[in-house]
Structure 1
Amino acid sequence: MQIPLWKRVIILGLCALGVILAMPNLFYNRVETHNAAAAKIARNGSTPELAKQLAEWPSWLPSSIVNLGLDLRGGAHLLAEVHLSNVYADRMNALWPEVRDALAKERATVGNVRREPSDPSVLKVSISKPEAMATALQTVRGLARPVVSLTGVGQKDLQVTAAGNSITIQLSPAEKAATDQRTMQQSLEIVRRRIDAAGTREPTIQQEGSDRILIEVPGIGSAEQLKALIGTTARLTFNKVVGRTSDAHAIPGAGNSLVPSEDQKGLYYIIDDTPVVTGEDLTDAQPSFDQNGQPAVDFRFDTTGARKFGDYTATHIGQPFAIVLDNKVISAPVIQAHIAGGSGIITGNFTVQSSTQLAVLLRAGALPAKMSFLEERTIGPELGADSIRAGRIAAVVGTIAVVVFMVAVYGFFGWIANLGLALNMCMMFGALSLIGATLTLPGIAGIVLTVGMAVDGNVLVYERIREELRAARGPARAIELGYERALSAIIDANLTTMISAGILYFVGTGPVRGFAVTLGLGILTSVFTTVWLSRLMIVMWFERRRPKSIEV
């Protein structure tokens, strides 16, 4: 019954914080309009209309809200399959000129070189002098590079074998795994950039399995509209850098543009409007290592792009050039030497992860592989409104039933449990808002379930207090023993449910995860309100009233 002042301040402070964080959800439309305007201003600058929308909600108040999922707001759902085998074929087609040129230097030894028909993911080359196969194999294997991945350390990216007068070249298993991972990352990045550019709110874009992407965008008109949005290609250009500045309102001059840096906030590049080459000329970009063993990025252009880029680098050695993606400079390396042949390397303070990410962004001008849609659904806003209405009714009915039951069975102590239940709901919505969680219809089911679970701990405590009162304990001692002896049962019951919620979250996807999130947060907040908050309220009441006897 002795709770120190510092502990009381923490308990009441956490409750107040939960109420403050949950409050924006009471003004959902206003806060949502404010947040959308803030995002547009950050992306494109302010306008009078956006400034008016921004003023819908005070900037000094929290503005995080619980996002409504697809089944509550309506929108489009797509399940896409990425054809990873297309990437293997592209790699082999890009490798063929290198193999041909390398063997051409040994023509006196290996004879004529010809590409043979084969599976698209395999490059098959024949030489006219089979007796020189050892030399040919050594030459081709010299083109292999280290696999750039944490799991492929020390392995090469090419697997080269010989049979008769033919050489078979394909990606090694380690490189295939790394390529699959990079391709999926690239596809996710492209889809995310395309959808974000359209200004949609809180989309769900995640990988499912090894080659599928789940895309859910609330508020969009139809699945066809979403497919058209994903099909839009990104704008990738390589431009001359005229200068750099930290002034966001600097005048770039005629024929130039002011473009922000992707990584360095507050830095702007002045670039020439006419690109040297564009993403349409880029055939490949892969993470690699430079001559010092440091992570870098290799890139390769097609014939037209190679000529234009080679001419430019020959006359601009020592000068930076900008790699611009979707009107943002993602990198501005300095040209170290004339880059002929259509391939080059970007060096810098890279890690393996950052070089892989830059390679993904460089290739993000178009999808790396064909994407087919296995499943598509359009959910109308009317259905979402019906779901919200049904969920609200279920929550209200469930809450009223619990409140009435607690008061009917436990009287005054039931009112304390109900007050704890109200603060528990506030804390749960505050936590959901803070982490930016998406609420789905199964998530509402998790909330309704939490309503019952939130008073379950109080029931255990009150029954223990009743037992102690029947054993002729005094009021203070009965309350103290009731909380002490019910604690283990409360922890055990909620811990086993938390384990189930954790399994649902890590194994499940989509709506199942939404249920697991609300259930897990509900368990944490209900344990807090039962073990600490309701106990504090009873102690504060007991200190004021000093009753000689109590009735639970």
Structure 2
Amino acid sequence: MTNTNPLWKTLLLAVVLLVGVLFALPNLFGSDPAVQISARSAELTTEDVSRFSKVLSDAGFTDVEVREEDGRYLALFDNEDDQIRARDVLADKLDPNTYITALNLVDASPAWLRSIAAPMYLGLDLRGGVHFLMEVDMGAAIDTAEERFIPAWKRDVREAGIRRTSIQHTDGVLSARFRDVADRDRMLDKFRDEGGDLDFETSEEGEFAYITANLTEAAAEEEQRAALQQNIVTLRNRINELGVSEPVIQQQGLDRIVVQLPGVQDTARAKEILGATATLEYRLVSTRSDARPYKRREDGSTIMLDRDIIVTGDQIKGASSGIDQQTGTPAVFVNLDNAGARRMQEVTQDNVGNLMAVVYIENRIDNVEINGELVKKVTKVEEVINAATIRDVLSHRFQTTGLGAQEASDLALLLRAGALKAPVQIVEERTVGPSLGRDNIRQGFLSAVAGLAIVVVFMAVYYRVFGIIAGFALITNVVLIVAVLGALTATLTLPGIAGIVLTVGMAVDANVLIFERIREELRSGTAVQAAISAGYDKAFSTIADANVTTLIAAIVLFSLGTGPIKGFAITLCIGILTSMFTAIFGTRVIVNALYGGRRLSALPI
């Protein structure tokens, strides 16, 4: 027995080492603060890039590295102060309806290396930022879906010529009240034809006949799923408006959303924008008997508005804040989609000279003490911020005044990002400062290096040359873990670093089993080459069993765990697989290269 390596084994180990080093290398260069600009609906042109560079140059940023990657313009800076100042300059000069300006951290490695590999992402606990757990109000989502039937029911009743009816949605029930049972039954057939997603019931009380309806169970479940998904999309759009790169937005359970914003520097504004449900409604001022009272923001007086809505925030496709040229007050310039524009045109064409009001709607969440416990209370605030005479037919674009400067800016942001389908409440919030994130990186790095160094020294002392080979395998194992994390664009968290440290101990355990088995074979008088072969062959089953059972546990942790537990499980899974390769295959190739094919009377083990 000679224990020589076939060529393919040597080449495989060399290729894996080379690829591993290349994919791990970007992590040594760190990242630079940058301002990122992307177009909302089109590709950036060379004229756009030249314009961005000129804006920065005019603001005094002359020595700025500029990149164009994946349709994005990136301007790199030496420190975060310059980054934030440049972001403010660009955001002030660029149209928010056309461009998205964001803060980012970009890879500082050379261009040739960036074309090959990318660094792994850093999680919230290492980079700093904010974590929100948001709960979607599913009851409000179902109420909104049921209220959508009210305009159609009113239209049907008018077309049927039935008078003195009342159609409304109260206490979670959609109801229509009629004076005559025959009229009720006639409209019931009509409503059923149009409302396939509703369960209907009829009743009589005194002189009135009623139709009541609610969404079917299947329709309610579909509405809840749609509310959750639309809220995720809307939150992602709002995060883009905030200028956050690499956010994490995930569904958790049936009614919750996890939002993680690494690197966020203004957590208060992030919380305000993400949780806000502000939107607009446009209604005619009315003197009809069924008109609905609203409060004016400016003086608290009451104004009566028509119950029929002209357009809502859902039909707004673009919005920007600015200054009204006539009054010099803050304004929101609104662009409607085609359906909203047609509706606005139809209503204003018939109501030139009449008043149209703008209703500002917001769900405010307050902490109220009830029986000694703080309870979140949701209050729906509806205020008329403006009531002006319709002087001309309106269509796609017009403006709304009556807001403060910051309020106008925030409202324009929310309208651009889209309305939440259902209100959300922030039920959990955690903030990690950037300095704490840097401390976590430093301490985690020191713990990993210290653990690795102690194990390598111990192995070298106890197993001599074979221990040095095991130490090389451990270092290679860590390099491969980092390389795989980067290749998979996985996120490294503080528990992930713990997983790497644990993997180091587990990886060396495999070599201890192999080396002790070789020692046993040598003590029993087995020849050197046979002892090496027997040590690896006989220890393999034990090592495989131990690693497979740990791998199963790690997979279960990843499947059932959330957040930090997933980070730990990912690095543990990767570490187990790479340690099997380095501890068994890698060390045997090196041992065979050093001692295979030679007549030896002893081994340095």
Shared fold (TM-score, shorter chain, > 0.5): yes
Q: Note the C-alpha offset of 1:413.
A: 0.8
Displacement of 1:19 in angstroms is 1.1
Match of 1:85 in 2: 139
- Looking at structure 2, the residues matched to 399 and 410 of structure 1 have their Cα atoms a distance apart, in angstroms, of 16
Question: Is it true that 1:141 corresponds to 2:143 in the alignment?
Answer: no
Instruction: Tell me the distance in 2 between the aligned counterparts of 1:132 and 1:456.
Output: 83
How many Å apart are 1:24 and its aligned residue? Answer: 0.6
Q: Which amino acid aligns with 2:571?
A: T
Structure 1 residue 18: deviation in Å? 1.3
Query: How many Å apart are 1:162 and its aligned residue?
Result: 2.4
Post-superposition Cα deviations, 1:249-288, rounded to whole Å, max 9, x if no partner, equal xxxxxxxxxxxxxxxxxxxxxxxxxxxx99736299xxxx
Q: State yes or no: 1:225 paired with 2:256.
A: no
Secondary structure of residue in 2 paired with 1:61: helix
Q: Is the 8 A contact 1:233 1:365 kept in 2?
A: no
Contact map agreement 2:238 2:417 (CA 8 A) in 1: no
- 2:359 matched to which residue of 1? none
Per-residue displacement from partner, 1:415-460 (whole Å, max 9, x unpaired)?
1111111111111001111122222221111111111111111111
CA contact (8 A) 1:66 1:437 kept: yes
SS at match of 2:420: coil
1:159 aligns with 2:199: yes
**Residue type of the partner of 2:507?**
A
Q: Distance in 2 between matches of 1:229 and 1:545?
A: 72
Q: CA deviation at 1:141?
A: 1.8
Which of 122, 126, 130 in structure 1 is aligned with 2:177?
Answer: 126
SS in 2 for 1:190: helix
Compared with structure 1, are the counterparts of its residues 381 and 65 closer, same or farther at alpha carbon in structure 2 (3 Å cutoff)? same
Larger relative strand fraction? 2
Query: Contact 2:275 / 2:425 at 8 angstroms: preserved in 1?
Result: no
The alignment covers a number of residue pairs equal to 432
Tell me, yes or no, if the aligned pair for 1:124 and 1:167 is still in contact at 8 Å. Answer: yes
> Taking structure 1 as reference, are residues 219 and 309 closer, same or farther at Cα in structure 2, changes over 3 Å only?
farther
Match of 1:388 in 2: 441
Contact in 1 for aligned 2:122/2:492 (Cα 8 Å)? yes
Q: Report how far residue 404 of structure 1 moved.
A: 1.6
Q: Match of 1:539, as an amino acid? A: N
Instruction: Give the equivalent residue in structure 2 for 1:183.
Output: 227
Decide whether the 8 Å contact of 1:281 with 1:301 is kept in 2. no
In 2, the alpha carbon distance for the partners of 1:369 and 1:283 equals 17
Q: 2:345 aligns with which of 296, 304, 308?
A: 308
Amino acid of the structure 2 residue aligned with 1:160: F
In structure 2, relative to structure 1, the CA distance for the partners of 1:8 and 1:191 (3 Å cut) is same
Q: Is the 8 A contact 2:242 2:270 kept in 1?
A: no
Q: Is the contact made by 1:67 and 1:437 (CA closer than 8 Å) also made in structure 2?
A: yes
Quote how far apart the aligned CAs of 1:112 are: 5.6
Change (3 A) 1:374 1:56: closer
What are the within-5 Å matches in structure 2 for residues 42-57 of structure 1?
Answer: 46=49, 47-48=52-53, 49=64, 50-51=66-67, 53=76, 57=109
- 1:550 CA drift (Å): 2.0
What's 1:214 paired with? 258
CA distance in 2: counterparts of 1:435 and 1:480, whole angstroms = 35
Asked whether the 8 Å contact 2:247–2:260 carries over to 1, the reply is yes
- 1:229–1:16 distance in 2 versus 1, CA, 3 Å: farther
2:27 equivalent to 1:25:
yes
How many angstroms apart in 2 are the aligned matches of 1:524 and 1:487? 14
2:543 corresponds to 1:515: no
Q: 1:434 to 1:127 in 2, by over 3 A?
A: same
SS at match of 1:207: strand
Find the partner of 1:280 among 294, 300, 313: 313
Aligned pair 1:66/2:129, yes or no? no
Amino acid paired to 1:540: A
Secondary structure of the residue aligned to 1:550 is coil
TM-score (norm 1): 0.70
More deviation in 414-423 or 80-89? 80-89
* Cα distance in 1 for residues equivalent to 2:491 and 2:152: 49
Is residue 66–residue 438 contact of structure 1 (8 Å, CA) maintained in 2? Answer: yes
Instruction: Answer with 1 or 2: which has the greater Rg.
Output: 2
Which residue is equivalent to 1:268? none
* SS of alignment partner, residue 60 of structure 1: helix
TM-score by length of structure 2 reads: 0.64
The alpha-carbon distance between structure 1 residues 365 and 305, as it changes in their structure 2 partners (threshold 3 A), is farther
Q: Deviations over 1:304-358 (max 9, x none)?
A: 752438999xxxxxxxxxxxxxxxxxxxxxxxxxxxxx9xxxxxxxxxxxxxxxx
Superposed CA RMSD: 3.5
Distance 1:491 1:137, change over 3 A: farther
- Mapped to 2, the partners of 1:458 and 1:480 lie a distance apart of 14
**Contact 1:186/1:364 (8 A) holds in 2:** no
Checking the alignment, whether the CA contact within 8 Å between 2:500 and 2:575 is kept in structure 1 is yes
Match of 2:523 in 1: 470
Task: List gaps (5 residues or longer) in structure 2.
Answer: 54-63, 68-74, 77-105, 281-309, 318-336, 350-394, 396-414
- The structure-2 alpha-carbon separation of the partners of 1:103 and 1:546, relative to structure 1 and needing over 3 Å to count, comes to farther
How far 1:526 moved relative to its partner?
0.7
User: Identity across aligned pairs (percent)?
Assistant: 38
Closer/same/farther in 2, CA of residues 207 and 301 from structure 1, 3 Å limit: same
The answer as to whether partners of 1:501 and 1:517 remain within 8 angstroms in 2 is yes
SS in 2 for 1:64: coil
The counterpart of 2:6, out of the listed 4, 7, 12, is: 4
**Aligned residue among 8, 14, 17 for 1:15:** 17
**For each residue in 1:382-423, what CA deviation from the matched residue of structure 2 results, as whole angstroms up to 9, or x when unmatched?**
222222222122112211211122112211111111111111
The answer to whether the 8 A contact 2:4-2:597 is kept is no
- 5 Å-filtered alignment, 1:432-443, equals 432-443=485-496
SS in 2 for 1:162: strand
How far does residue 56 in structure 1 lie from its aligned partner after superposition?
Answer: 5.1
Stretch deviating more after TM superposition (418-427 or 395-404): 395-404
Q: 2:155 aligns with which of 71, 78, 101?
A: 101
Measured after TM superposition, the shift of residue 70 of structure 1 is 1.8
Q: Which amino acid aligns with 1:122?
A: V
**Cα separation, 1, equivalents of 2:539 and 2:108:** 47
Greater mean alpha carbon deviation, residues 412-421 or residues 474-483? 474-483
Provide, for residues 99-139 of structure 1, a one-character-per-residue CA deviation record: whole Å limited to 9, x for no partner: 2323444557xx764225632x3211123332465543332
**Counterpart residue identity of residue 282, structure 1:** Q
Say if 1:424 and 1:529, in contact at 8 Å, map to a contact too: yes
Partner AA of 1:395 in structure 2: A
1:292-315 deviation line (CA, Å, top 9, x unaligned): xxxxxxx9956x752438999xxx
> What stretches of structure 1 of length at least 5 have no aligned partner?
146-156, 237-276, 285-298, 313-341, 343-361
One-letter identity of the residue aligned with 2:14? L
